[in-house]
Amino acid sequence: MNPQPLFLHNTLSRNKERFEPQQPPLVGLYVCGPTVYGEAHLGHARPYLTFDVLVRYLRLQGYRVRYVRNITDVGHLEHDADEGEDKIARKARLEQVEPMEVAERYTRSFHASMQALNILPPDIEPRASGHIPEQLHMIEELMKLGFAYESAGSVYFDVAAYAAQYPYGQLSGRVADELLAGAGNERRALEGQSEKRNPADFALWKKAQPTHIMRWSSPWSEGFPGWHIECSAMSRKYLGEPFDIHGGGMDLLFPHHESEIAQSQACCGQVPARWWMHNNMVTIDGQKMGKSLGNFITLNELFAGNHPRLSQAFDPMVIRFFVLQAHYRSTLDFSSEALQAAEKGYKRFMDGVGVLMQLKSDASGDDFAVDSFVSSLYDALNDDLNTPMLIARIYEFLPQIHRMHEGKAHLSAKSLTRLQQAVQSLVTEVLGLTATQQQTGTHLNGVMDLLMDIRQQAKERRDFASSDEIRKRLELLGIQIKDGKDKSEWSLS
RNA sequence: GGUCGGAUGGCCGAGUGGCUAGGCAGAGCUCUGCAAAAGCUCCUACAGCGGUUCGAAUCCGCUUCCGACCUCCA
């Protein structure tokens, strides 16, 4: 248990603030989940990884976290689609399947990728399509309160009416007057603009065009919910208002999260979440990795090494380690070289941790201060989840571990146990890193034991021609032999 | 144009006033029948120009360059 306070950066104040939930030990966390109309890519992995570490750390500290992460399966208007049709509907027509079939397929694929990355599932994973009544209800409330209006079957949020009563733009630093005056709208050609009272207004409900397949009944039209209302309605339903932490990618800051705040504040009179946390983007060649830019690499491509930019396949744990080696609020530049560096570093890291776990105490005194080292590890996480700092401090400690392993340094049983427990819980439970799994069957293990015995006998006869022949031919089969002092080890490469 | 964030050694990436982060690559060494792996050692960078300070990668100003958001996007 860590007695030190945890500081988390709050986008609302642009400062690190000491985290204290409203009703300890309960913590309510909402994270914007994926829109399931395509394969998850590396950029998607970042927020889920970031908040996975947060949830794991909070739980280690004894908090009871309710983690809600939605699945957006109702589709949203696609601006650059020719007919302005629903993203999911468009994909469905192309693939000749039901829209929900597409959503289901990519939801399953998303779950598989998350599991591979050892990202714990959220406690509640609500689907937008399953919460249409809640969204309709919230829209009706907003209309009743005078913050929304109907226009040609669609319903829009009235930003001017809202801004007259509440501060608008506080999260993103936008100035309400300028937005209302249409600043930055020069390049907009959004469909439906003429229906709005003001260009800054955003849709709560959209009337479906005849070609639009995904549609639900509402008091105003057959249509579908607007771009931001699902998160407001679902977070309110499962976490109440206000809840503790709302998370998501930086690109959602505006308009998505700003709109969520406006909707919820208009309804309930307060900002819906106390902490707003935003992870930075994954870049590739200095540019954001994103669907619309077409420069993304899917997680499955990374796991399989199946992309022109990749020289090899990467273990999901290496991807996880790679992402955690950068602080979540910094951009992270992707390249195959950077991943290869992470792969090698990860192996050394986990090997060192593995050596530590095998250590036995044979001393009564301590050769170094375990307590200050362990607290320095917690300090890193307490400082706005500084995972790269945590990793670096463990790396720095690796030589000490090796000195102990060689019998050149010692720790008492009590200190060693404390060290092992701390590293174990931080590396395995919080960072979520586990040794990469080697898939070997019992048959292979048996055959390899036999071969290794034969080779060992050859070595003892100083028949190096034979032992080298075995090693060379196994290497061609993808099995690597490493000779130690007394015995040899093998591994699939 | 507006809002926000960056520029750190060959590459990735921490660090908000003094104590050379760390990883990868590279060099040397140890171990070893050889190889591989591993371990040890070395490699002292902070875009530019001013300013504040005993002292600045870190604070302030200016300049240059880059990115995110302002339109679905993690």
Question: What's chain A's Rg over C-alpha atoms?
Answer: 27
Residues A116, A443, A115: CA angle, nearest 5 degrees? 5
Predicted confidence at residue A417, as pLDDT, reads 94
- Interstrand relation of A202-207 and A223-225 (parallel, antiparallel or unpaired): antiparallel
Same domain, A227 and A85: yes
CA of A332 to C1' of B51 (A): 33
Predicted confidence at residue A50, as pLDDT, reads 95
Q: Nearest nucleotide to A248 by CA–C1' distance? A: B74
CA of A116 to C1' of B15 (A): 32
Same domain, A226 and A344: no
- List the nucleotides on chain B closer than 7 A to a protein CB: 1-6, 11-16, 21-25, 31-41, 66-74
Of A205, A266, A195, give the one whose Cα is nearest residue A230: A205
B24 C1' closest Cα residue? A341
Q: What is the ipTM of this complex?
A: 0.92
Same domain, A305 and A257: no
CATH code at position A416: 1.10.730
Predicted confidence at residue A150, as pLDDT, reads 94
Q: Are A107 and A207 in contact (CB under 8 A)?
A: no
Same domain, A183 and A275: yes
Residue A27 lies inside a defined structural domain of this protein: yes
Predicted confidence at residue A440, as pLDDT, reads 60
Same domain, A264 and A244: yes
Q: Nearest nucleotide to A403 by CA–C1' distance? A: B39
CA of A44 to C1' of B72 (A): 15
Q: Nearest nucleotide to A406 by CA–C1' distance? A: B39
Residue A13 lies inside a defined structural domain of this protein: no
Residue A14 lies inside a defined structural domain of this protein: no
List of residues 6+ apart from A425 with CB closer than 8 A: A60
Q: Nearest nucleotide to A78 by CA–C1' distance? A: B72
CA of A173 to C1' of B4 (A): 8
Angle between helices A370-382 and A413-424 (to 10 degrees): 20
CA of A334 to C1' of B56 (A): 31
B31 C1' closest Cα residue? A485
Distance between CA A243 and CA A21 in Å, rounded?
Answer: 9
Predicted confidence at residue A224, as pLDDT, reads 92
Predicted confidence at residue A434, as pLDDT, reads 87
Residue ranges of chain A whose pLDDT lies below 70: 1-3, 75-86, 93-96, 181-193, 436-441, 485-486, 493
CA of A395 to C1' of B10 (A): 22
CA of A475 to C1' of B30 (A): 26
From A249, A279, A309, give the residue that closes a domain: A279
Of A186, A150, A116, give the one whose Cα is nearest residue A432: A116
Q: How many CA atoms lie within 13 A of A247 on its CB side?
A: 29
Residue A359 lies inside a defined structural domain of this protein: yes
Same domain, A348 and A471: no
Q: Nearest nucleotide to A249 by CA–C1' distance? A: B74
Burial class (CB in 10 A: 0-12, 13-18, 19+), A105: middle
- The residue segments making up the domain with residue A348 are 283-430
Q: Nearest nucleotide to A396 by CA–C1' distance? A: B22
Predicted confidence at residue A193, as pLDDT, reads 63
Same domain, A314 and A453: no
CA of A378 to C1' of B12 (A): 24
Residue A2 lies inside a defined structural domain of this protein: no
Same domain, A30 and A126: yes
